[in-house]
Amino acid sequence: MDRTPVPLPANYATALRLIDEAHSHDPKRIPAEEGSSAISPIASSTVPYELHYAQKMTRWLALRSPDASPALQLACRAQHFRRWEIPRDSYPMTRAGYLTWRAKLKAQAATQVAELLTSPAITPPLPQEVIDRVAALIRKENLSKDDEVQVLEDVACLVFLDDQFDEFEKKPEHDEEKVVNILKKTWVKMSPAGQTLALQMDLSDRAKALIQKALGE
């Protein structure tokens, strides 16, 4: 998985760097992948988790939509912007609490990223309509009607399957029935193009078996 999206103009590349610098403050760290290009202010064998996640988003975006617009590239990179500031357990551990938490995450990320994109370090400044577009993508507005929002949703689902699923399904509170139901919900969120990429993934045997069960195969 070594493709990259269309190169960004210099001012957009600066914006991407600022997003990554914010990700580098995530206190959660994980082992760095071999050959990882993740940047960190401290040379280490570990990498801030949200920086790792953001780079995964970009890598899957390159496969899902190699001609992605600059706004979509920035939104993908900022999908989890400063997520650690709102921990899951700050809301009730219920379905309603989860949905409220997710809505708060999207709203806060969109606001914070929009502010970041007005930084004087970005020259020439990004047009306001681009900043507004990035924020709308992060909020996933008009998911059923906006092709770029659907691409962002596809990429988030692909990263979940690629990078998070194996650890997720092993949690003791997640029995097989619950995991299969989550996979079914994940699957219907994706477009046919996203589903095709998911089926081409190099997944663990356990993940493949659960996906087959979710799809009724």
Give the residue carrying structure tokens 């500031």.
85
Give the helix/strand (H/E) hosting 33. Answer: none
Segment 97-145, tens digit of pLDDT? 999 999 999 999 999 999 999 999 999 999 999 999 999 999 999 988 9
Residue 117, helix vs strand vs coil: coil
What is the crossing angle of helices 10-23 and 95-116, to 10°? 130
Q: Taking the domains of the chain in order of start, what are their residue ranges?
A: 1-141, 143-217
**Separation of alpha carbons 28 and 34, rounded Å:** 19
Which residues, including other chains, have CB under 8 Å from residue 195's CB and lie 6 or more apart? 187
User: Which range among 35-44, 121-130, 182-191, 200-209 shows the weakest confidence by mean pLDDT?
Assistant: 35-44
- Output the pTM of the full model: 0.89
